[in-house]
Amino acid sequence: MLERKLDLLTVDLNVTTDSNGVDTISLPPLAPNNFKITSTLAEPGIDVNIQPAWELYKQMENKRTVTVAVIDTGIDATHPDLADSMWVNPGEIPGDGIDNDGNGYIDDVNGWNFLDNNNVLYSGEIDSHGTHAAGTIAASRDDGGIAGIADNHFVKIMSLKALGGENGQGTPETVMAAIRYAEANGAQICNLSFGSQGCTEEMAAMMKASNMLFIVASGNGDENQIGYNIDQDPVYPASLPYDNILTVGNLMFNGKLDRSSNYGPVSVDIAAPGTYILSTIPDKGYAFMSGTSMAAPMVTGHCSYGLLCKARVKCHRR
Ligand SMILES: [Ca+2]
Ligand SMILES: [Ca+2]
Ligand SMILES: [Ca+2]
C-alpha cells in the first residue's frame, strides 16, 4: 500500500530538512482542486511487492512471535497505529516502582531509555524518527492510517531509546547498552537507522558475537547529501563486515539508488524504498520522510516475516 501514496507527490508539498538530512513532507489539507493529478517518476513494479507475501502468510499455520528492537529515538506508543504493535515485557508490572523481572530495569514495560536511564520512551516531536521506523515495520493493519510490512499481531516492537536531543545523537555506550538489553530480553532483530564515522572495537565485537540480526542504514551521503562509497570511507555500523549485519541503501521509486544514499558493493547488501515514505509520527500524525533510515525498516519488516516462518534464519553474505 505504501507505493500507492506516490500519487500524492504531485501535491504542492511543504518540505523541511532536519539536521539529520531527513526530509519531512507535510501535505496541504485535502480539498477540491488542491492537487494536480500529473505523472510521477515512479516506475511500475518498483516496490516491495508485499501483497503476495501477505497472501501466503495468511495461509500459514503456527506463526511465531518475533520481537524487533528499534534502537533509535523513542517511539510514540500511544499512536493509534502503534498501540498494539509494541512489545510488552511479560515479567514487568507497570508503574509499581519495582523491577519485577529482575533484569536490572524498573518498570521497563515496552523497553528502556538508555539516554536518560529511565522508562520514559516518548517525549514528543524529538521522537519522530523512531516512531516513523516503527510504523513502517509493524503499524496496525486494522484501523485505517497505514499498514506496516509485518503483522503486528505477531511482530512486536521493543523501543530502545539510545538517540535523542536536537540532532538525534547517541553514544557508543547508549547503543551498546541497548543492544545488550535487546539480546537479554528476547529480541531477534535490531533496526539501526543511524551511523557514524567511528566505531568502538567493543561495539563491533559485541555485534559480531550477537545472535541477533542487525538491519542497518547505509547513511545519507556527505554534507551535500551526495551518497559515497562506504567500502572506501566506512560508516559504522553499516560497514562492519559481519554475517549478521544487513546494510540497506535507499531505493528511489524509479528503481535507482537515491543520490543521497551511500553505497558500496562490499558493505551494502540491499536497497529498499526509502524516499517519500509515509509513516507514523508523534501526536497521531503521519508524514513522509526520506533516507536510508526509512529504507532499513522496510527490510526489518521483511526479515521479521522470515523469522516468523522459520525458527532460525542463518545469514550468509557473499
Ligand atoms: Ca524490569
Ligand atoms: Ca514494575
Ligand atoms: Ca493502520
Enumerate the domain spans of the chain.
Answer: 3-8+62-309
From the number of C-beta atoms within 10 Å of its C-beta (0-12, 13-18, 19+), residue 102 rates as exposed
What is the whole-number distance in angstroms between the Cα of residue 105 and the centre of ligand 1? 4
> Which residues are within 5 Å of ligand 1 (an ion), measured at CB?
92, 99, 101, 103, 105, 108
Residue percentage of the chain with pLDDT more than 90? 66
What is the whole-number distance in angstroms between the Cα of residue 107 and the centre of ligand 1? 5
Between residues 155 and 7, which one has the greater pLDDT? 155
Tell me which ligand sits closest to the C-alpha of residue 146. 3
Residues 6+ apart with CB under 8 A from 292: 193, 217, 218, 219, 220, 248, 249, 250, 261, 262, 274
| CATH code for residues 3-8+62-309 | 3.40.50.200
Between residues 10 and 41, which one has the greater pLDDT? 41
Sheet with 111-113, edge to edge strand ranges: 111-113, 155-161, 66-72, 189-192, 213-217, 245-251, 270-273
Segments of the chain assigned E as strands: 14-17, 23-26, 66-72, 111-113, 155-161, 189-192, 213-217, 245-251, 270-273, 277-281, 285-290
What is the whole-number distance in angstroms between the Cα of residue 80 and the centre of ligand 1? 25
> Which residues are within 5 Å of ligand 2 (an ion), measured at CB?
92-93, 96, 98, 100, 107
Contact 82, 76 (CB under 8 A): yes
What is the whole-number distance in angstroms between the Cα of residue 178 and the centre of ligand 1? 14
Looking at residue 154, its amino acid is F
Tell me which ligand sits closest to the C-alpha of residue 135. 3
What is the whole-number distance in angstroms between the Cα of residue 96 and the centre of ligand 2? 5
Three-state SS string over 64-112 comes to: CCEEEEEEECCCCCCCCCCCCCECCCCCCCCCCCCCCCCCCCCCCCCEE
Q: Which of 47, 287, 80, 23 has its CA nearest to residue 149? A: 47
The mean per-residue pLDDT over the stretch 35-57 comes to: 74
Contact 20, 167 (CB under 8 A): yes
Between residues 142 and 271, which one has the greater pLDDT? 271
At 280, phi and psi to the nearest 5?
A: -75, 145
Lowest-confidence region among 42-46, 142-146, 210-214: 42-46
Tell me which ligand sits closest to the C-alpha of residue 98. 2
Contact 183, 64 (CB under 8 A): no
CA 289: distance to chain centroid?
12
CA distance 86 to 269: 28
**Is pLDDT above 90 for 166?**
no
The pTM of the full predicted model, rounded to 2 decimals, is 0.86
Cell numbers at 192, concatenated:
539501526
What is the whole-number distance in angstroms between the Cα of residue 104 and the centre of ligand 2? 11
CA distance 247 to 239: 8
Q: Which of the four pLDDT bands, split at 50, 70 and 90, describes residue 11?
A: very low
At 298, phi and psi to the nearest 5?
A: -60, -45
Task: Give the residue numbers marked as catalytic.
Answer: 72, 129, 293
What is the whole-number distance in angstroms between the Cα of residue 88 and the centre of ligand 2? 12
Maximum distance among all Cα pairs of the chain, rounded to whole angstroms: 59
Looking at residue 80, its amino acid is P
What is the whole-number distance in angstroms between the Cα of residue 141 and the centre of ligand 1? 30
> Which residues are within 5 Å of ligand 3 (an ion), measured at CB?
81, 140, 143, 145
Tell me which ligand sits closest to the C-alpha of residue 94. 2
Cα separation values, 295 from 112, 193, 253, 300, Å: 24, 9, 12, 9
Tell me which ligand sits closest to the C-alpha of residue 108. 1
What's the pLDDT at 301?
96
> Tell me: the pLDDT tens digits for 172-197?
899 999 999 999 999 999 999 999 88
Lowest-confidence region among 36-40, 105-109, 241-245: 36-40
**Is pLDDT above 80 for 314?**
no
Cell numbers at 135, concatenated:
510504523
104-126: b (≥16 Cβ within 10 Å) or e: ebebbbbbbbbbeeebebbeeeb
What is the whole-number distance in angstroms between the Cα of residue 192 and the centre of ligand 2? 27
CA distance 243 to 231: 16
**Is pLDDT above 90 for 305?**
no
